[in-house]
Structure 1
Amino acid sequence: MAPIVLGVKETDTLRIDQDMLAYFQDDTLGSHERINTVIGLSAGKFDNCGPCDSRG
Structure 2
Amino acid sequence: MTDKTIVCKDCGKEFIFTEGEQEFYKEKGFENDPVRCIDCRRKRKAEKNKMRPR
Structure with higher helix content: 2
Question: TM-score higher than 0.5 here?
Answer: no
Structure with higher strand content: 2
Larger relative contact order (C-alpha < 8 A, sep ≥ 6)?
A: 2
TM-score of the superposed pair, with normalisation by structure 2: 0.31
